[in-house]
């Protein structure tokens, strides 16, 4: 079998979301409807309108269609749509970091394990049984990593009560992908007590065998991520998403700035490509991949490093068998 490639690179996308839901445009990452602290229905309605308008402006700027409910489509049909997208754009392998629960992600992976892999999810690292649930997801379900949303956890990432979860992750050597910074689409969480990547330092130092990956270049906490990676050689970044958050920074920051700073400091072995593709009819966000490849080419990145960033590093972290080319 000929392995799909893009520009001769076996692209492994480290960061996609599998979603079957009624209205992805109006749900936050915790799965609940947008709410207001005063629980006033009129305030909720008004906030929903403002957020929807802001989201619509973003989609128009990027020329993206509006999200559509999956309707009567089954998860198997949704999985087949994703497989078609990978074939269409020449993506060798996709890792779904969320997907309606660990069992459903495992079913998705089993549908085509050569093209799909998945990560476990935990909403609370400190609750009883969390470590054993993770162990089951790895050993029985065959999932290859753990995805966490730090701003949505009920505790800080360095809470001592999470120790057993970290021990399981270290035992199995799985990558742990932790979203820090602004969480959700327009109208999401901008700040809370758990949102900063600096809190990861004591955990990463205590468990050097766990490869921690911070997506979206750390969002607004770029400086913290760079110093965290300096302090902890097991900390990586992923490149996923539109990275439109750079427009909200108080100083000029571009995608090239992000790549160049990470490449020159933490190096090519700890940068992992992801697209953050998630919903239809947008489908696979090839333009994110194209933009990132263009930036890396314009930087003069050697072919060997391009192969690491856009596939090799993900394969190593996820322990994927490389199929080679025929």
CATH at 193:
3.20.20.140
Position 316 scores a pLDDT of 98
Containing structural domain, residue 171:
12-318
Tally of domains within the chain = 1
Count the residues in the chain. 326
**CA–CA distance, 14 with 177 (Å, rounded to integer):** 10
Helix (H, G, I), strand (E, B) or coil at 277: strand
Under a CB-based contact definition with an 8 Å cutoff, are residues 262 and 301 in contact? no
Domain-located, residue 41 = yes
Q: Which residues contact 253 (CB under 8 A, 6 or more apart)?
A: 222, 246
**CA–CA distance, 228 with 86 (Å, rounded to integer):** 33
Domain-located, residue 223 = yes
Domain-located, residue 4 = no
Domain-located, residue 3 = no
Threshold 0.85, pTM exceeds = yes
Position 68 scores a pLDDT of 78
Q: How far is CA 97 from CA 16, 51, 204, 292, 321, in A?
A: 6, 25, 20, 20, 19
The residue assigned the tokens 């309108």 is 49
Torsion sign (Cα): 275, 221, 265, 199: negative
Position 2 scores a pLDDT of 83
Q: List the beta strands (DSSP E) in the chain.
A: 12-17, 93-98, 116-118, 120-121, 146-149, 176-179, 212-214, 235-238, 271-272
Domain-located, residue 268 = yes
Per-residue pLDDT of the chain (326 residues; tens, 9 = 90+): 688 999 999 999 999 999 865 433 334 443 333 344 455 888 878 878 887 888 888 888 878 888 877 667 899 999 999 999 999 999 999 999 999 899 999 999 999 999 999 999 999 999 999 999 999 999 999 999 999 999 999 999 999 999 999 999 999 999 999 999 998 877 889 999 999 999 999 999 999 999 999 999 999 999 999 999 999 999 999 999 999 999 999 999 999 999 999 999 999 999 999 999 999 999 999 999 999 999 999 999 999 999 999 999 999 999 998 655 43
**CA–CA distance, 82 with 109 (Å, rounded to integer):** 12
Domain-located, residue 1 = no
DSSP state of 312: I
Position 21 scores a pLDDT of 57
Domain-located, residue 326 = no
Quote the radius of gyration of the chain (alpha carbons, Å).
Answer: 19
Q: Which residues contact 153 (CB under 8 A, 6 or more apart)?
A: 123, 124, 125, 194
The pair of structure tokens assigned to 146 is 């753990």
Domain-located, residue 147 = yes
């Amino acid at each position: 079998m000929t392995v799909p490639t893009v520009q001769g690179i076996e692209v492994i996308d480290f960061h996609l979301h599998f979603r079957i839901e009624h209205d992805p445009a109006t749900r936050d990452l915790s799965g609940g409807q947008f709410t207001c602290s005063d629980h006033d229905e009129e305030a909720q309605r008004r906030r929903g309108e403002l957020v929807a308008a802001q989201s619509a402006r973003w989609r128009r700027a990027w020329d993206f269609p509006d999200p559509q409910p999956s309707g009567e489509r089954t998860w198997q049909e949704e999985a087949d749509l994703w497989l078609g997208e990978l074939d269409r754009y020449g993506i060798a392998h996709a890792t779904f970091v969320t997907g309606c629960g660990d069992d459903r992600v495992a079913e998705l992976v089993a549908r085509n394990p050569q093209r799909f892999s998945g990560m476990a999810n935990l909403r609370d690292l400190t609750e009883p049984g969390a470590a054993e649930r993770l162990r089951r997801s790895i050993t029985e379900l065959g999932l290859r990593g753990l995805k966490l949303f730090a701003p949505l956890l009920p505790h800080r990432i360095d809470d001592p009560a999470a120790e057993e979860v970290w021990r399981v992750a270290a035992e199995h050597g799985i990558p742990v992908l932790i979203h820090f910074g602004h969480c959700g689409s327009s109208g999401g969480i901008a700040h809370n007590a758990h949102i900063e990547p600096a809190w990861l330092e004591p955990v990463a130092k205590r468990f050097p065998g766990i490869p921690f990956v911070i997506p979206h270049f750390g969002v607004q906490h770029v400086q913290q991520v760079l110093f965290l990676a300096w302090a902890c050689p097991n900390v990586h970044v992923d490149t996923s998403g539109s990275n439109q958050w750079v427009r909200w920074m108080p100083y000029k920051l571009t995608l090239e700035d992000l790549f160049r700073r990470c490449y020159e400091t933490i190096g090519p072995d700890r940068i992992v490509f992801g697209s953050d593709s998630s919903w239809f009819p947008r489908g696979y966000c090839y333009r994110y991949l194209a933009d990132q490849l263009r930036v890396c080419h314009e930087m003069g990145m050697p072919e060997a490093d391009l192969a690491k960033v856009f596939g090799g590093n993900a394969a190593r972290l996820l322990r994927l068998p490389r199929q080679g080319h025929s």
